[in-house]
A and B are shown apart, each in its own frame.
Chain A
Amino acid sequence: MKRTGVFICHCGINIAGTVDVKKTAKDLSKHPGVVHSEEYVYMCSDPGQNLIIDAIKEKKLDNVVVACCSPTLHETTFRNTAKSAGINTFQCEIANIREQCSWVHKDMDKATEKAIKITKSAVERVRRNESLEPISIPVTRRALVIGGGIAGIQSALDMANSGFEVILVERSPSIGGHMIQLSETFPTLDCSQCILTPKMVEVSKHPKIKLMTYSEVQDISGYVGNFKVKILKKPTYVDPDKCTLCDECTKVCPVVVSNEFDIGLTGRRAIYIPFPQAIPATYTLDIKNCPGLLPIACGKCADVCEPEAIDYDMKPEIIEEEVGAIIVATGYDLYDKENLAEYGYGKYADVLDGLQFERLCSASGPTMGKVLRPSDHKEPKEVVFIQCAGSRDPELHCAYCSKICCMYTAKHAMLYKHHVHDGQAYIFYIDIRSGGKGYEEFVQRAVEEDSVLYLRGKVSKIFEEKGKIKVWGVDTLTGKDIEIDADMVVLATAMRPSKGAEELAKKLKIAMDKDGFLAEAHPKLRPVESVTSGLFLAGAAQAPKDIPEAVAQASGAAAKAIAILSQERLFHAPTVAKVNLNLCTGCEMCVHVCPYDAISLKDGKAEVNEVLCEGCGTCSATCLRAAIQVKNLTPLQVHEMIRTSLGG
């Protein structure tokens, strides 16, 4: 029989004041298997710990129980004590006789009786504990960032600057995300491209960053420290090293399609560069809109390409990479105008969303920075901005607030006024949310310096009439209905997770929240981690946010990833689930309930990935045949604890 030592702490009078520690020690000494039982005033002190060490050595103890305060305080202390005496850390268990006994009861007899039961219970448990060592896993010290917007760029740079190789995957032909489409950013009215392009160039030139644009993650397998990723590199049909950006190809391309960079306000050719400062600096042939290469239906672009950069024979490639940590920064898309029946289903040319308006304001945009109506290119004199278009509307659209719309609407109104000095800007709002640094002052500037008229109320309907957009709204502060014959309407639509994020989340097995954004591990304390170890979140993919928040979160995610990558090996708690193959029938109930997807089937039986398992025990309670159990808190141990707790 295993030899157990029991050590009862007085904790001064904290325990001894209500629990008869001498009686407890005496009672325990008679318990089967207990060969040593003593009490001492402060067990956690040096002399107290030495008592334990000496007893372990002299009495050749196999395991110990320390009856003292809550394990949250000293479990680690006493486990280390046990280790220094030469026994495994898991051969030490704590019996909480303070917070859950001596401090909450007054009757000494009853408190002592309970303390004895609690301690005996711990003895029955520790006697059946396995000796375990932390699980050590090797780490591939490279990272993957999915998404090349500002958050992806920032986290890639942070990790690369710390000396780790980073693979940055972006599905469009250039990095930059939505930030590169903006004209000026609040509250400083910085030129967006001016602050972003240096970072983009830094990414392209960084020796530690492997940039893969026009690429998509196809498949991910593995676990923290050891992910295997398959990336599809789509063919651009243009060699980036040869392309000189001479633009001769677009002049001869016969195809014109909607330009996604200008959100439909202009067209582009099938061979194109998304914007002049694209990184990588190369043109791309959009094979979906090209007349065809098999056989070559047109071929004009290759004919005029002097550096011979165009290569119709380029093939898609699947590239396999191994990484230790992954940051998901897939960003956002705006809620489709087509969903907004009250605002015209997106049919009216002069009703724009926020990003379209940014493109109008942008100096390198479709109208060279002039604010002009898309329908007739006239300057709008009355512009209505509608906030909360599709937001804060649980019945029909998005229930949540997208956070940035109040700020960028104020900005849009100010930019409009800066461009059209004699124009009038109206903003229909429900509330103004301007909580960041300098944000409140920014909104006040819009009102005071640019005479933007804020109307508190919703717009019930807009429609086109005689070349104008009629806006029917209400001003709740005066109680009056408002009717405006606007030349242009800008809708501040909700921020939604990026299109395709859901499929990627399923591949990565990251949970999404009720609105489709990637779910963080804990809303307060773990905002950049996903529930899956080694997978981190950054930017608008996790929730609507502005640029400084995206950057901060990106650096936070990078720091978390670096914590993994900076070690050669990771250590994981070994109190994990174990399968008894003789009893398992492969019903997969445990596979379904595991919150960490740590269980899979191998040869028809459950197999636990010890690195992913957190030892919660949900599988154990679900299994009808007790074929899976968590080490060191097995049903047998619980059975014995129940028995002893009831005086057995």
Chain B
Amino acid sequence: MMAEEFEPKIVAFLCKWCSSAGSDLAGVSRMQYPPNVVPIQVMCSGSVSPLYILSAFNKGADGVLVSGCHPGDCHYIKGNYYARRRIALVKQLLEYIGLEPQRFQMSWVSAAEGTKYTEIIKDFVQELKPLGPQTKLRRAQ
């Protein structure tokens, strides 16, 4: 009997105008990627609060992705610059307390980058599988 392979659970915060559109494009192009990611559409990557990221890990996410527009292309002009700074701080602190750095990722995905989104998800799932379930921040059931 084959042991059931660990399937990581990923929560992805996608900005509506770029990354979610890029994800839609991946769908329209029928690109295939693992179903481990559940997307949550937010208006702007700048609206992703550190609380959301921590809460996702606390509720059992094995990986968290924040994705927004490339610098200079933000639909709301500069939300992504604030996201860049805020997420950098969250990432620094997560790694510092000993959470595996591969578990929290940020990307710039434009509405034209369906392929890039697909690759990001595929790579993310592959990187998380050997790490196993995230237990450090997860609330005990």
Contact = CB atoms under 8 A, between A and B. Distances in A.
> Do A and B have CB atoms closer than 8 angstroms in the complex?
yes
Interface of A: 70-72, 96, 98-101, 103-107, 110-111, 113-114, 117-118, 121, 511, 531, 593, 595-596, 614-618, 620-622, 630, 633, 635, 638-639, 641-643, 645-648
A107 B9 contact: no
B55 interface: yes
Contacts of A107: 35
Contacts of A618: 44, 46-47, 76, 78-79, 82
Nearest to B138: A646
Interface in B19-41: 20-21, 23-28, 30-35, 38-41
A579 B59 CA distance: 28
A615 B42 CA distance: 11
Nearest to A620: B47
A178 to B, nearest CB: 31
B24 to A, nearest CB: 4
Interface in B57-90: 59-61, 74-79, 82-83, 86
Interface of B: 9, 11, 20-21, 23-28, 30-35, 38-44, 46-52, 55-56, 59-61, 74-79, 82-83, 86, 118
A70 to B, nearest CB: 5
15 contacts: A70-B24, A99-B28, A103-B27, A103-B30, A105-B34, A595-B74, A596-B77, A616-B44, A616-B47, A620-B47, A620-B49, A621-B48, A621-B50, A621-B86, A647-B60
B32 A646 contact: no
Q: Is the interface of A mostly helix, strand, loop or mixed?
A: helix
Contact of A121 (B20, B38, B76): B38
A614 B23 CA distance: 23
A111 B30 contact: no
B27 A99 contact: yes
Contacts of B52: 635, 638-639, 642
Contact of B82 (A98, A593, A638): A593
Contacts of A105: 32-35
B44 A642 contact: no
Given A121-B40, A617-B44, A617-B47, A98 B79 contact: no
Contact of A639 (B27, B30, B55): B55
A630 B47 contact: yes
Q: Most A CB atoms within 10 A — which of B41, B78, B86?
A: B41
Given A99-B24, A643-B59, A633 B32 contact: no
A104 B56 contact: no
Q: Is the interface of B mostly helix, strand, loop or mixed?
A: mixed
Contacts of A635: 49, 51-52
Contacts of A101: 27, 35
Nearest to B48: A621
Given A104-B26, A104-B33, 19 more contacts: A99-B26, A101-B27, A103-B30, A104-B31, A104-B35, A104-B118, A105-B33, A121-B38, A511-B77, A614-B76, A616-B47, A616-B75, A617-B46, A617-B79, A618-B46, A621-B82, A646-B56, A646-B59, A648-B60
B24 A638 contact: no
Given A617-B46, A617-B47, A99 B23 contact: yes
Nearest to A71: B41
B19 to A, nearest CB: 11
A314 B141 CA distance: 82
Contacts of B28: 99, 103
B104 to A, nearest CB: 14
Nearest to A616: B76
A104 B30 contact: yes
Contacts of B9: 646-647
A148 B117 CA distance: 49
Contact of B32 (A100, A104, A638): A104
Given A618-B76, A618-B82, A646 B61 contact: yes
Contacts of B24: 70, 72, 96, 99-100
Nearest to B50: A621
A98 B27 contact: yes
B25 to A, nearest CB: 8
A114 B56 contact: no
Contacts of A114: 35, 38
Contact of A113 (B35, B44, B75): B35
